[in-house]
Amino acid sequence: MTRGGARSIRPGPGRPRRAHACRPGASRLGAIVTAWIVAATTGVGGGARRATAGPLEARQRWKEAQALDAAPWRDRLAAFRAVRREAAPTDGYAARALLAEARVLREAAYRAAAAATEAVAANGGGRRDPDRLGHALSAARALVADEDARGARPLLLDVVEAGGSSAPAFTGPALELLGRLASDRGDDDALARLVRRAADETPERWDTRLRLLDLVGLRALRRGARDDAERALKEQKRLFTAARREGEAAERVAGRAWLGLELPKLLDTR
């Protein structure tokens, strides 16, 4: 038991149990795990964690942790946590150790804990720092894979808001994932807003824009609104033509995306 009577989250003996997706309370579990990792990172009580040594000691612990590739996962996890105990929160070794912990947890089949650890790593650095945006997007993808939409959505919104038009490599994929989540919950208005936002902020992310329109058209077909689906397909064709005019690179991106679209196949536009 931990302070306040909450049960601590500890791996049981033997092989860890694999996390199950789409189970009631999964998002709540993710929040608990995130809070646990934040406490481990910042110290109980929310104050900033103080390094017990310095950069030289952190570097030595990092080398020791890297030498444990063949060790059991619990030993590797403990070694990377030792790196964080030695490093200041702003030290690069602290962030590297967090991401290494996430990899170990994912290998051990604790996917929710791994995603939570990546989310903590995503909180470091400047708001528009590409590394921070990448960590946040990676954590969101893992949560989406675990069907934890409630955990993924805030991270994706943060990537879109922080990245905007200045970081289309991150904003585009985040918009796509938000589109999938909106489609899953049947939110057609949100989908329409995402299509407009992609056009405004990531106009040259042809793949993102084509896939979002695909979701719009598929939703229309589910509602029985074939005319709306036809309009989405017409916009897809317009975008593909525009990409071809932009040159070979844009055409390749749009062409690869087109091959994976479902709407043109369903409407039989051969």
Is residue 170 in a domain? no
- Does 190 map to a domain? no
For every one of its 270 residues, what pLDDT tens digit does the chain have, with 9 covering 90 and above? Answer: 444 444 444 444 444 444 443 443 444 445 444 444 444 444 333 334 444 546 788 888 888 888 888 889 889 889 888 888 887 766 677 778 888 888 888 888 887 778 777 777 766 666 677 877 888 888 888 888 888 888 889 889 989 999 999 999 999 999 999 999 999 999 999 999 999 999 999 999 999 999 999 999 999 999 999 999 999 999 999 999 999 999 999 999 999 999 999 999 999 754
Residue 12 maps to a domain:
no
Within-domain flag for 169 = no
**243 domain residue, yes or no:** no
- In a domain? residue 210: no
Domain, as residue range, for 39: 29-124
Is residue 51, in this structure, part of any structural domain at all? yes
Give the chain's domain count.
1
Considering the domain boundaries, does residue 216 fall inside one? no
Q: What is the DSSP string of the chain?
A: --GGGPPP--PPSSSPPPPPSS-TTHHHHHHHHHHHHHHHHH-TTSPPPPPSS-HHHHHHHHHHHHTTTTS-HHHHHHHHHHHHHHS-TTSHHHHHHHHHHHHHHHHTT-HHHHHHHHHHHHTSS-TT-HHHHHHHHHHHHHHHHTT-HHHHHHHHHHHHHHHGGG-HHHHHHHHHHHHHHHHHTT-HHHHHHHHHHHHHH-TT-HHHHHHHHHHHHHHHHHHT-HHHHHHHHHHHHHHHHHHHHH-HHHHHHHHHHHHT-SHHHHTT--
The answer to pTM > 0.75 is no
